[in-house]
Amino acid sequence: MKALNKAIENAQIDYVFKQLAASGLPHAVAVSITAGMIWWDIKGWAIVLWFVALQTSHVMRIFILDSIWKKNAELGDYRVVKPFLVAGMVATGIVWSLVPGFFMEGVSTETFIFISIVIAGMVAATLPALAAYLPAYIAFVTPLLLVLTYRYYSLGMEANALLTLSYMAAVGVISVTINRLITNSITMDFEQRELLQEVTEAKEKAEEANVAKSRFLAAASHDLRQPLQALGLILESIKLRTEARDEIQTLVNQGLSSHDALTELFNALLELSRLEANQLEVHRVHFDLNQMLVSIINEFQPVAEEKSLSLTLSGERCIVDTDPVLFGRIIRNLLTNALKFTDKGSVTVAIERVDKIVSIRVVDTGIGIPKEEQARVFDEYHQVSNKARRREEGIGLGLSVVKKMSALLNHPIELESVPGSGSTFTLSLPLGDKQLVPEPPQATDISVSELNVLVIDDDASVLEAVNHLLQDWKCNVRTAVSIQAALELLVEEGFTPEFVLSDYRLEEAGTGVDAIEAVRSHLGEDIPALLMSGDTDPELVGAIRAQHFHLLRKPIKPVHLRKAIKQLVD
């Protein structure tokens, strides 16, 4: 509190000096007019000396007193400034008091009245400037009004003298009131600054915590993805080995469904963290919208058929300009949401073109969203408080990812919904140019049978899972946990790989890039290779791709892995 009071008093003094600087020119003009009027009536060196003394004191205040204030204000020490300010105001008040003391006797009535008005005006005019620091104002007006009172009394004008004393008391009360108002204003300003500082610090801490959380998720993603990767590959391998046993197939399919749901949730969490940490890069291209949507809808047809829902695509054929990966993620999330909460009827993806804007509507006949909930469905972890919504269907991240990705791509998204009738999500994106659409890759057979594959991974569970899956694909597989172990295997067993599949992060600070280059150097051949990684750091991913290495992010679906291997071998 003591520090706050000191800061407030310092601010009051600053206020006074700033006001004095602003009123400097009007004060000099008032002095000149007053001296001129008195000189007009009673000429003499006394009025000239008074004029020079007052203007000199004004100049000294500017060059001496102001410099003292500025110097000490930078140091935050006003102990010297306060007495100098009061002394300066006393001197100015004394010089002004010379006017009623020496120039009101023997003058014309007009000059007498003029001097009285000037003094009253000077006392009133300096009130807003000096009242912020009361000692300064009192030091200025006290000698001036006391001498004026004495002059009235000495001239037998007792009523005027009494009126002057009353005026002195009135300006004293007003000065206290103004001082209180200025002090309260300064105090409120300090409190608001302090509150703003606290809010800013709290906001910065919250943002730092949020970024730290996002960075942690991004950094920990490699370790978190490893067991998911192993589980998915193991389940796929079990499925291939038990095709004839319906009972086991059912259990395996349930396990794969659970794995896919966990993977989706995990990916949503990581995507959300990357969006919040501004780690997602946009790569816009022109592509056939209908072709992509047909492919995505085909992915979801089994889910729709399982629930006896109609899942269709309608609308004209369009080329769009956007990031196909992020856009595909948005559509998949919208379809996932629509199919989850639609038990009967249909889900339709409709395309509509208006001028150079293409609108994609995902329309369902599901349970709908109450109007009061619609503004919050895009919030993280929010689920509509509707008893018909099943809590096991997720924790409310899909639409949050949709909102943030659409904002990142600058594609507005709108929601219309009627409870009991369904919902419509509309995404708008720019029309593309057919001439800029890249040539599609040629379709190839995805069989990798009889391929010699070297797998390098320091995680035993993932290594074993990949080994079993590749063997189920009829590949000839050798595994190694390190670069050195891989080279020893090539020497001792004479195994010649046709393809290298390696995790990016390996033991002893080695990387998959080092492993692939070591194997290629040993064989003297630039054999095809593929990196797997759970890292989501865009700089790391960019650095890997800049070295012309192909990368898949974990957890990898077996079908995607097989396609990537086949394409690289071909």
Q: What is the pLDDT of residue 347?
A: 95
One-letter amino acid of 340: K
- Looking at domain 285-436, its CATH superfamily turns out to be Histidine kinase-like ATPase, C-terminal domain (3.30.565.10)
Q: Would you say residue 304 has pLDDT above 70? A: yes
Residue 16: pLDDT band (50, 70, 90) is confident
**Residue 384 CB neighbours (<10 A):** 19
What would the pLDDT profile of 499-519 be if each residue is shown by its tens digit? 999 988 887 668 889 989 999
Q: Would you say residue 399 has pLDDT above 70? A: yes
| Cβ atoms 175, 131 nearer than 8 A | yes
Q: Can you tell me the distance from the alpha carbon of 130 to that of 107, in angstroms, rounded to the nearest whole number?
A: 31
Query: What is residue 62's DSSP assignment?
Result: I
In the chain, the percentage of residues whose pLDDT exceeds 70 is: 81
Q: Assign residue 157 a region: left if phi > 0, alpha if psi is -120 to 50, beta otherwise?
A: beta
Residue ranges covered by each domain of the chain: 2-156, 215-279+443-570, 285-436
What would the pLDDT profile of 553-563 be if each residue is shown by its tens digit? 777 778 888 88
| Cis amide prior to 441 (ω within 30 degrees) | no
Q: Can you tell me the distance from the alpha carbon of 482 to that of 22, in angstroms, rounded to the nearest whole number?
A: 78
CB crowding 445-476: b at 16 or more within 10 Å, else e? eeebeebebbbbbbbeebbbbbbbbbebbebb
Query: What is residue 394's DSSP assignment?
Result: -
What would the pLDDT profile of 176-228 be if each residue is shown by its tens digit? 888 888 888 877 877 777 777 888 888 888 777 766 666 665 555 555 566 66
The CATH architecture annotation of domain 215-279+443-570 reads 3-Layer(aba) Sandwich (3.40)
Q: Would you say residue 468 has pLDDT above 80? A: yes
Q: What is the pLDDT of residue 22?
A: 72
What would the pLDDT profile of 60-96 be if each residue is shown by its tens digit? 777 777 777 777 777 777 777 888 888 888 888 888 8
| Cβ atoms 420, 348 nearer than 8 A | no
Q: Can you tell me the distance from the alpha carbon of 226 to that of 267, in angstroms, rounded to the nearest whole number?
A: 13
